[in-house]
Amino acid sequence: EDKVVQSPLSLVVHEGDTVTLNCSYEVTNFRSLLWYKQEKKAPTFLFMLTSSGIEKKSGRLSSILDKKELFSILNITATQTGDSAIYLCAVEETSGSRLTFGEGTQLTVNP
């Protein structure tokens, strides 16, 4: 059975801190790993990773995938209160685009 595990499950930091969120997976037919940010509504897309070792970056957020060790990390530097959200990691299978989600990391950034 496909499995995606995120850690930590929750994290409380102060504005300006840097955080690293982890995602490990076991999937039979891996196609890609995706990171989403969820606030009050549906998830919003952050990154899609398909190749090992290539960092994807968007502003203060960056992510990298290690297909040998089967994990990914999401880094957020200089955190702001607006970064407070649940961060979801999902793995996509090659057949049919089916996504398996991890439990998510609840990030709280205090002023």
Partner 1 sequence: GAVVSQHPSWVICKSGTSVKIECRSLDFQATTMFWYRQFPKQSLMLMATSNEGSKATYEQGVEKDKFLINHASLTLSTLTVTSAHPEDSSFYICSAVNSGGNYEQYFGPGTRLTVT
Closest CB 78 distance from partner 1, rounded Å: 27
67: exposed, middle or buried (Cβ count in 10 Å: 0-12, 13-18, 19+): middle
Q: Which of 88, 91, 107, 109 binds partner 1 (CB under 8 A)?
A: 88
Nearest to 111, CA basis, from 16, 20, 8? 16
Q: Which of 21, 23, 104, 109 binds partner 1 (CB under 8 A)?
A: 104
Determine the interface stretch with partner 1 among 11-19, 39-47, 56-64, 67-75 (rule: CB under 8 A).
Answer: 39-47
Read off the tokens for 43.
């998830």
- Positions touching partner 1 (CB under 8 A) are 36, 41-45, 48, 88, 90, 92, 96-104, 106
